[in-house]
Amino acid sequence: MLEKLLALDRRWIFLLVIVALTLPFFLNLTCKSYVSPEVRTLYDAIDKLRPNSKVLMAFDYDPASEPELNPMAEAFFKFAFTRRLKVIILGLWPQGPQQADRVLERVFADSVFGAMNLQYGVDYVNLGFQSGNEFAIQGMGSSIERVFPRDVRGTVTGDIPIMQDVKDFSNVDFVFNLSAGYPGTVEWVQVAADRYGVRLGAGNTAVQAPLVYPYLGSGQLTGLLGGMKGGAEFEVLTGFPAKANKFMVSQTAAHMVVILFVIVGNVAFFIVQGRGRKGRGEV
Amino acid sequence: MRREIPLLITGFVGAVYIVSFFIPALGFVETVTTDWILIIQAFAIWLGALNLLKINLLKLSTGKKDRVYAAVVIVSFLVMAGAGFAPLLRDGRDYQAAGSSFAWLFDAFYVPLNATMFALLAFFVASASYRAFRARNKEATLLLLAAFFVMLGRVPLGDLLTAALPDGWRMSSWADVIMNYPQLAGQRAIMIGIALGIVSTSLRLVLGIERSHIGGE
């Protein structure tokens, strides 16, 4: 029996994981998120920005990381627009700028933000994708317009109202990078923050977040949203609880299933091992 | 000359970035070099795309059993590229605007396919955890305990289960301690090691000692 448990068909595990992930969607459950210091730091940094401050948002991820990073982006946009910040969007991943469009679509579908009558080019702009990875960031240090000569709509960057007084990083008050790998937060820290003194906050996938923790302790990174949990905490702080909080219930259930399987697996492992020792006369 | 010129270019570019870091007055040389790199990288995307097309066309023509996948790659490539270039040629640059065929293909095909591939990871992680997370020895037990605290501490249930404990002793605090001390120390050690490796390799490249990138020993 225990041997069978140890060699359990993985399809049973898959089945339990999918039940754990999907069931909470139908139960309308919510859970309270404790706010971690790194999320609080990011919130405080943005909260202190004065209205009309320029915030640069770098979308460095693709749809694979959308469930973790889009809720962060959505809460960030809502918070920034509420605080009357000007948002400049760009991407070092080809799919990044389209991710921004998808998030903005959701933001403007909210009647509160739809009624704010925010104007493209004045309140926000999407400069699109630029190849070159860290060299694109390096280039922006001397001129953003040189690296992004036109926005996604084909308008010359210099003619866009929001970009009128934005020459380089010195005219940007805060950079928020949403990252799922390379190029991403590590490159923004190494080039934009270290070289040009940019104030940088980040939202990372749970897999990537541990890699950027060293930059938090050293002060090179002003706040971090790590995975779904970071997104959920940020939603709570900004006052716009949405998808991340909803998904946290599913994530909790999935974590419980994995923990349960690990415990069951270890108990079975030790019992079988104990029997083996007894059989060999070692005990 | 086939070797000397690439070596000279490598040395020059490396020297530009090192020198301009210490002498900001030479920043203009760095700006021009960065522009060149951006242009070269943009061309590299073309090169990569055309190479992908060539490899899959060859695969298709050789008639091996995986030629169906090659056909899927070629069709997908051409359809996405066509949808992207059509509005560019017609009326401007906004190929990814809402309602465009490129945006539709992105939303209807690329997003669900890409998300599905990544989502499969959850199932494999669960299955692998069941089989691999066994307390066979001291190191494995430590790993297992760390995983237990982080997994439980990173979801609200962890705090709910330890709500009776004083502040700072709940499960999320334990997870924070693991992330902020042993995890951080390990990451820093790895990062410093990698950085030292990068510095030494870069110096070898700039000085022309390392020649593997131009086909040397």
> pLDDT category, A21, cuts 50, 70, 90?
very high
pLDDT, one tens digit per residue, over A149-185 is 999 988 999 999 999 999 999 999 999 999 999 999 9
Among A216, A197, A179, which Cα is nearest to A73's?
Answer: A179
Which residues 194-223 on chain A approach chain B with CB closer than 8 angstroms? 195, 206, 210-211, 213-214, 217
Whether residue B158 contacts residue B148, with contact meaning beta carbons closer than 8 Å, is answered with no
Q: Given this model, what pLDDT does residue A283 score?
A: 58
Is the complex ipTM more than 0.85?
yes
Cis amide bond preceding A183, omega within 30:
yes
How many Å apart are CA B210 and CA B217, to the nearest integer?
8
Cβ neighbours of residue B3 closer than 8 Å, sequence gap 6 or more: B211, B214, B216
Distance CA A253, CA A200 (A): 33
B115·A64 Cβ contact <8 A = yes
A240 has pLDDT over 80: yes
Verify whether the Cβ–Cβ distance A101 to B98 is below 8 Å: yes
pLDDT digits (tens, 9 = 90+) for A211-220: 999 999 899 9
Instruction: Say if strands A124-129 and A174-179 run parallel, antiparallel, or are unpaired.
Output: unpaired
In total, the C-beta contacts within 8 angstroms joining chain A to chain B are 166
Amino acid identity for residue A196 in this structure: Y
The beta-carbon neighbor of B122 closest among A62, A254, A256 is A254
Identify the closest residue of chain A to B188 by CA–CA distance. A214
Residue with tokens 């960030």: A76
Contact list, A101 vs chain B (CB under 8 Å): 96, 98, 103
Average pLDDT over residues B27-51: 92
Taking alpha carbons only, the member of A68, A188, A103 closest to residue A137 is A188
pTM for this structure?
Answer: 0.92
Disruptive mutation site among B142, B151, B155 for chain A (greatest number of A CBs within 10 Å): B155
Instruction: Summarize chain B as % helix, strand, coil (round to 5).
Output: 80, 0, 20
Chain A residue numbers with beta carbons less than 8 Å from the beta carbon of B107 are: 102
Residues 115-134 of A with CB under 8 A from B: 130-133
- Chain B residues with CB inside 8 Å of A218's CB? none
Is the pLDDT assigned to residue B89 strictly greater than 90?
A: no
